[in-house]
Structure formats: structure tokens, C-alpha cells
Chain A
Amino acid sequence: MGSDLETAVGRLRLRNPTILAAGILGLTGPSLLRVWNAGAGAVVSKSVSREPSEGYPGPTVVQTPSGLLNAMGLPNPGVEDILGEFREAKKGGATVIASVFGGDGEEFASVAREVEKAKVDAVELNLSCPHLETLSIIGHDPDLVGGVVERTKEEVKIPVWAKLPGNTHIQNLVEVAKAAEAAGADALTVSNTYPAMAIDLETGKTILGHGGGGLSGPAIKPISVRLVYEVYEAVRIPVIGSGGVVTSEDAVEYLMAGASAVQIGTGIMERGLGVFEEVCSGIRSFMKERGFGKISEIIGLSH
């Protein structure tokens, strides 16, 4: 691990800018550790709530020629049961970010308070879930997002990252980003998957058990790069890019758009767990060729 790839998300230092995305191989300690040992700069856990949840019935994933759809339904064992997994990953030396969600600010804050006990390095708020009362997505409402971030900041000392939903209504996205910043968020992850659907022609039925799902993979990269670019212009806190990173070129593009680090999820399906080292060594060669000494010299270069 050359220190040349070191980056920082606020006060959290990362050994390199590739992070395992939330919900990918993040349910157990040994699994998080395996990804860490495969070279990720940090690992984000599965999103966890107060109570256990089974998630949606299958099919939970389906591939289309233009990306992967998933509707896992946020299955998780509940915060109490997952703390041991986080502790195990921390004991193995990993930089661990706990993804949390809830139906309202209270639940977000209380789950965040619990995960802090496991000495995780940061908490990421998954704002792409429906608000219990309205069933609209929390992450589209600047007031709700501000409230969730504020309540969480009151409860924990570790950095709080707010992960925004895939939202192409850029004006709204920017308002939400600013609200999160104003409420004290330490960083923003941009973004989650985009609403999508696939229908089987033989039966006329939606393939995903839940009906709708979220689109990920290379198809969404240009869209999320745009969102990162816009959010970077609008806020001063660090931005983390997520969506379709498979190669080092993808990662560098996000860095140039303004991301301090990138998350990788679906890329693992395409490249295996070697994707983290591949992307890192590609970034390293790129920096060498172009004479960049540090990651920070690339961040936001396109602005």
C-alpha cells in the first residue's frame, strides 16, 4: 500500500480511495474483512435498522443489457445482532463505516448511537428509504434530511455521512445536499441506485419480487458523475462518488468531478473482489504518467 493513494473524507483518513458500497457483502464480519483484505480503502456495511427484517421475496436481482436491478428490501439482522460483526471487522483492522436507516429521525439516531458502540469509524445514513408516515423517500425532502442528520449528529461523535438517493431532479438534489450540510453532515455519498423496473414478456409480470427496484452498474455512472459534479459545486463538505465504478478510469472521473473517494458495488459482479486492487493500481499508474503526487491534486480538477 503506497501512501500515494491516501485520501481523506473530512477527518477520516483512508489508505486508498476505493470503498466497498453499502449492501454489498456487508452483513458479516468475516465478509467485510475479506473485502478489506482484498484491498478496499474502507468497507461500508449492509444498511441496518433497529428491528430485524427479511427483505423482499425474490427475484431480488435481475440483469438487463443496461445495468443490474435490485430490490433486496434492506434485509438485516437488526442493529443489536450486527454489532458483533462490526467488532470482528474492526478487530481485523478494517476501516468500517456502518450504514444505518430508519423510518424517521429518531430511529436513524438511535441506530447510529448503537453502532458507535462497536467503534466503527463513521456512520452512513441511507436516506433512500421511505418515510414511515408518508412513504415518500426521505432523501427527496430537504427538511426531513436536515432533521435526520441533526438528530444523528446529536447522538454520535463519529463522522456522519449522508447518502443521497439517485435523484435526477438536480435542483432538489442540491437543496437536499445543502440541508444535510447545514445540519452538520460530515460528508455526502452521491448517490444510491435509480428507480427502475424489468418486466418479463412471457408472463407480463415484473421480474423483481417487489416490482420496482434500483438500477446500478456502468449504466448509471454518467448520471452519478453529473450529480457529484453539481453537489461538489454546492457544498464545502467532502463528496463520495457511487455508481458504476468498475475501472480506474471510472474512479478518476469521479475524483475529477469532485469526489474524495469512490464506492464500488456492482463492479464486484463484473471483476470479482480483485476490482479494488485493479482500480488502485490503475489510479497509481495514471498519477505516475500525469505527474500527480497525491489524490488531492485530482479531486475537483474539472471545475
Chain B
Amino acid sequence: MENVGTESSSRVAHRPRVLRIKRIVEETPTIKSFYVNCPEVASVAHPGQFVMVWVIGTDEIPMSISGAGKDGELRITVERVGDATERLHALKVGDQIGIRGPYGNWFDLSGEKLLMVGGGDGVAPLAFGAEVASSQGKEITAILGAKTSSELLFRSRMEELSTVLKLTTEDGSAGVKGLATDLLEETLRERKFDSLLACGPEPMLKKVFDIAKPYRVPVQISLERMMKCAIGLCGSCCVGPYRVCTDGPIFMGEQLERVSEEFGVFKRDKCGRKVQVAATRS
């Protein structure tokens, strides 16, 4: 039985591989990492890409790849926010989930000095990126933000991987009190970076984009939009003319400039109705 499913999956790209959860790590009170053996995805995954996770009986949702090992181990890191993520959090080692992907484009890790800005669960793809970049000898400066100290995702992982790590919390329980973007300006003034990578709540991303503009550093920003098909057909993930699932999720500054009426302003819900970004989960 073990191989029957994988055989038919291997003939087509867009079919979930049903796998057993190998390990679960509680990262913060609201975030857990799930590990599965999925060499077909892990061996070709790049930081910034995502998979569609079939939470069997509930829904299928997009999740960034937060790590991929040479041994075929694939990692996703999930914040509990609603139905499907709640259900995922209730699963145990040995339970099944489906994975299809990897999807989307990925961070360009070229250049020597990288600046990463992550908020909340947005640190997930950045940590994978930091892992790959640091193995190539790149110098990483990272600013991580969260509501409170216990919600700082991948703090020790990022401590190991980065040359400079700055922390912010909204309640001041760790690092500087405030938002990750509060430290961005001074960081950009301190030194010149070859690239700025950011992932997190959209109001934060918009601020990153605005603050970085005068510094002329190439920015790569990872966007989240409602994803259903992930193969560029259904149109639920559109931002301006772009499909976040296939043209993104990483967008360059020039692209974001083109969609300035949408980026940081509104997203679309499951029906396709506009919802203000400030009103969505941050």
C-alpha cells in the first residue's frame, strides 16, 4: 500500500502525496512545525516556494516551505488562525496530510550581504532562505518582529544563521519595543545591502517597501493571497495582473510599484470580494 499512492502521484505534478507526519515541533504557543518525508518536493524546493497542504476532510491551504533537508525531509511551519490550521495543530505524529508542490518562484539569494525582515509566521520562508544563504557563505542581517517574546519564531535558528540579528516585540518583552520596521531605517543607514527580503503581515511589508525605496536596495517581498488551485487557473490569488501562485509569491519592487493601488491596501476573500488589508490578520 505504501507505494501505490506515490506511484500514481509521480505521474502527475498536481496531485497531493499523502504522507505521515514524522515529527512535530511546538515553535511558539500558536505556531507548530510539521515534518514529513517528501524527497520529491524537498529535493527541488527553493526558499520562498510553498506547498499546498491537504488537511484531509477539511481544506487544502498554502504553506511556505520552512526547511528542506538533503535526506528528503520537508518542513512547514503553521500558525493557528482558523479551521484548517486548527485541525492541523490537532494532528499527531503518524497522522496523514497531503502535499503537492513546490509552487511559485523563490528568493534570489545572489549578492553577498542580505537583509531579511520577518514578522510573525513570515519568518518561516526567510529562515529556510537564511539556511541556504549562510551555507553559501553570505552575510545575513535579520530583523524579526512579533507581538511578544514567546511568539518570536525561529529566534535561535536565526541567531545561528545571521551575522547581525535584531529583535522587536510590540510589548517590549524581547529586543526593542515596537515593530520590525522601526529598526529598518537605521539598519539601512548603517550599511549597504545587496538585497532586502521580507515576509510577514502586509502592513509591515508595505512599510518595508516605503522605507527601503530611497535606499535603492533591490527588494523582494513575499505576498499572501487567497489560494485555491495554485496552478494559475482559478484567479482567486490575483493582485493586479499577477497571479500570486505562479507569478509570485515573491515580487520585486518594480512589480509592487505597478500594483500600488492594491499592495498594502486590499486583498480578496474566498468569494473574491475586496477586504481591507488592515482588517485582515496581521
Contacts from A to B (Cβ < 8 Å): 23-28, 30-31, 33-34, 46, 52-55, 57-65, 68, 70, 72, 75-78, 81-82, 198, 200-203, 205, 207, 209, 265-266, 268-269, 272
Nearest residue in B to A34 (C-beta to C-beta)?
A: B241
Contact of B12 among A57, A65, A202, A203 (CB under 8 A): A65
25 residue pairs from A and B, CB less than 8 Å apart: A25-B232, A25-B234, A27-B235, A27-B268, A28-B238, A31-B241, A57-B60, A60-B228, A61-B229, A63-B12, A68-B14, A76-B271, A76-B272, A77-B271, A78-B271, A81-B272, A81-B273, A82-B272, A201-B5, A202-B18, A203-B18, A207-B15, A207-B98, A265-B233, A272-B232
Nearest residue in B to A25 (C-beta to C-beta)?
A: B235
Contact A209 B59 (CB under 8 A): yes
B contact residues around A205 at 8 Å (CB) = 56-57
Report the minimum CB–CB distance from A118 to chain B (whole Å). Answer: 15
B240 beta carbon closer than 8 Å to chain A: yes
Bound-state CA distance A76–B273 (Å) is 8
B58 beta carbon closer than 8 Å to chain A: yes
Contact B235 A59 (CB under 8 A): no
A contact residues around B231 at 8 Å (CB) = 61, 269
Contact of A58 among B52, B232, B240, B274 (CB under 8 A): B52
A contact residues around B122 at 8 Å (CB) = none
Also in contact, A202 and B273, with CB within 8 A (given A59-B60, A63-B12)? no
Contact A77 B273 (CB under 8 A): yes
Bound-state CA distance A198–B14 (Å) is 12
Contact B272 A58 (CB under 8 A): no
Also in contact, A33 and B241, with CB within 8 A (given A60-B229, A68-B14, A202-B18)? yes
B11 beta carbon closer than 8 Å to chain A: yes
Report the minimum CB–CB distance from B118 to chain A (whole Å). Answer: 26
The dominant DSSP class at the B interface is: loop
Contact A77 B241 (CB under 8 A): no
Contact A57 B15 (CB under 8 A): no
Task: Please report the number of residue pairs spanning A and B whose Cβ atoms sit closer than 8 angstroms.
Answer: 136
Bound-state CA distance A201–B3 (Å) is 10
Contact of B16 among A27, A59, A64, A65 (CB under 8 A): A59
Contact A28 B271 (CB under 8 A): no
Instruction: Count chain B residues whose beta carbon lies closer than 8 angstroms to a beta carbon of A.
Output: 41
Nearest residue in B to A207 (C-beta to C-beta)?
A: B16
Contacts from B to A (Cβ < 8 Å): 1, 4-5, 8, 11-16, 18, 52, 54, 56-61, 96, 98, 228-236, 238, 240-241, 243, 268-274
Contact B96 A59 (CB under 8 A): no
Also in contact, A28 and B5, with CB within 8 A (given A59-B54, A78-B271)? no
Also in contact, A203 and B96, with CB within 8 A (given A62-B14, A63-B14, A77-B271)? yes
Nearest residue in A to B231 (C-beta to C-beta)?
A: A269
Contact of B236 among A27, A30, A65 (CB under 8 A): A27
A contact residues around B52 at 8 Å (CB) = 58-59
Task: State the 6 A-B residue pairs at the shortest beta-carbon distance, nearest first.
Answer: A58-B60, A63-B14, A202-B18, A34-B241, A54-B270, A52-B271
Nearest residue in B to A61 (C-beta to C-beta)?
A: B229
Report the minimum CB–CB distance from B53 to chain A (whole Å). Answer: 9
Bound-state CA distance A266–B8 (Å) is 21
Report the minimum CB–CB distance from B250 to chain A (whole Å). Answer: 18
Nearest residue in B to A55 (C-beta to C-beta)?
A: B270
Bound-state CA distance A28–B239 (Å) is 9
Contact A201 B235 (CB under 8 A): no
Contact A58 B236 (CB under 8 A): no
Contact of B1 among A55, A201, A272 (CB under 8 A): A201
Contact B59 A62 (CB under 8 A): no
A contact residues around B271 at 8 Å (CB) = 52-55, 75-78
Report the minimum CB–CB distance from B7 to chain A (whole Å). Answer: 9
Contact A24 B235 (CB under 8 A): yes
A contact residues around B228 at 8 Å (CB) = 55, 58, 60-61, 72, 75
Nearest residue in B to A60 (C-beta to C-beta)?
A: B228
Contact B238 A52 (CB under 8 A): no
**Residue among B4, B233, B243, B271 having the largest count of chain A Cβ atoms under 10 Å:** B233
List 20 extra interface pairs beyond A25-B232, A68-B14, CB under 8 A.
A24-B233, A27-B235, A27-B236, A27-B238, A30-B240, A55-B270, A58-B52, A58-B59, A59-B54, A61-B233, A63-B14, A72-B234, A76-B271, A78-B271, A82-B272, A198-B15, A201-B8, A202-B96, A207-B98, A265-B233
Bound-state CA distance A272–B233 (Å) is 10
B contact residues around A54 at 8 Å (CB) = 269-271
Contact B54 A27 (CB under 8 A): no
Bound-state CA distance A205–B270 (Å) is 24
